[in-house]
Amino acid sequence: MARRFSLFRRSGCGGYYYVQLKDPATGAFLPAKSTGKKDESEALLVVADWLNNGVPQRRANHRRNACEVLTIEGIVQTLRTAELTEYDTRRIVAALRERGVIESAVISQSGPASEPLISYLEHFWNYDESEYVRERIAYGHSIGRRHCADSLNRLSHWRAHFGSEITVGAVTRDMLREFQLQLHAKGLAPKTINLIMHSGGVAFSWLAGLGKLDTDPSAGLRKFAGKSKKRSVLTATEATRVFKVTWKDKRARVGNLIAMTTGARAGEILALRIGDVGTDRLHIRHSWSRDDKLKSTKTDEERSVPLLPKVRSELRELIESNPFGKNSELFIFYGPDRSAPMSHNILRRGLAEALVDMTLNKRDRKKASKRAEVRKQFAERGVVFHSWRHYFAANLADRVEQRKLQLATGHRSAAMAEHYSNHAAEADFADVSKAIGEAFSNIIPIPNDRAV
């Protein structure tokens, strides 16, 4: 019978006997292991014990039988010598992950997994260079420059936590969980934390889906629960009073009027062009952002909303004052450059100042401390420009059915869009128009009725 091992003294090792066990499958001897004995007979007894009772492991009081040792040693030896393809390596990593002995692994390659995390994420959210952005556009999905810019800004939190050295493939789920908890410890709002995590999670998920990352470390991460700060709306009395004071910028006044009476978003109002004003309706065809310029609406759908005669009258006055002319393609809410509308800040600041003026008497309006106090009060209530959209929906909710309200706000789900086509019946439009008239006609003073 062939011997199952080879016993020998290794020179320069203090006269100790070493043994090499033989792999019965391949006939190859495995790496030598010291018996810890200088006497051959004692060494043979040790080898016999190992073959019968298992080979001692480094872990205390643990033995592994000789077959297991041979198997493990054979695997290790194969991994050291075999020519492994990337596919082979991924299969090995997947098997180890299934056993629960590893969570993730970085596979040596020249792809994204080996790139520094922060520099990769910066490239990932670069609208003009990102492969991810190009892919989304190619598949017909919308993604705006503003969204990418916001995601880039959130990377400052990633940079502060992970530094510039760690690679994409080295990030584990435990690291991301620790990152989440650190953000929470800073007192950030749940929604803010989730958005910060999303700016990295999208990249991990996309890479894993392409097979460029062995596993998605963000998969299964729990999101923080919590309600966003509730937007407050003005009372009917406040809404009436705010349009009775003198607004310093006519564009701000008219923009806020449109927001209140149509539920249009700020970007949709800024994008309005002269040709979008109809006889009894406003055609909302585009949206505007500083980064994306003129783009489609948030839902990628155009809609028409009823336009109250009083609001249309003020819109026409504003159009008449446009310094660039009356071409149908010109922006109604003009800025210093004819190719772009005014800043969104004009809408926001105009409302803030009008709220202050309606609250204070003429004497107190001149006091900076009083003005600051009122601004703080409305901020704490959560009254912002977007509150008009909530105000519009709240005032129409009891007057028209939800389906018709969604026609006006453009706040439809994909299922609703399919159920209720863009070719809305004029009867529905008339119902919404009637409801808007009932809700807002008494709030809006006629132009020559404005108080100082």
The CATH class given to the 236-449 domain equals mainly alpha
- Which pLDDT tens digits describe the chain residue by residue (452 residues)? 467 788 888 766 678 888 887 776 667 777 777 888 888 888 888 888 877 777 776 555 555 555 555 556 667 777 777 777 766 777 777 777 777 777 766 666 557 888 899 999 999 999 999 999 999 999 888 888 889 999 999 999 999 999 988 999 889 999 999 999 999 999 998 999 999 999 999 999 999 998 888 789 999 898 888 665 566 789 889 999 999 999 999 999 999 999 999 989 999 999 999 999 999 999 999 999 888 889 888 777 888 999 999 999 999 999 999 999 999 999 999 999 999 999 999 999 999 999 999 999 999 999 999 999 999 999 999 899 999 988 888 888 777 777 666 666 665 543 433 333 333 456 677 888 888 888 887 777 654 444 43
CA–CA distance from 301 to each of 9, 170, 298, 408, 417 (Å)?
A: 83, 42, 8, 12, 9
Nearest to 168 by CA among 127, 220, 110: 110
CA–CA distance, 391 with 235 (Å, rounded to integer): 9
Give the position of tokens 């999905």: 141
CA–CA distance, 252 with 357 (Å, rounded to integer): 14
Nearest to 310 by CA among 125, 436, 139, 130: 436
- 0.75 exceeded by pTM: no
Per-domain boundaries in the chain: 5-82, 112-210, 236-449
Give the position of tokens 């298992």: 54
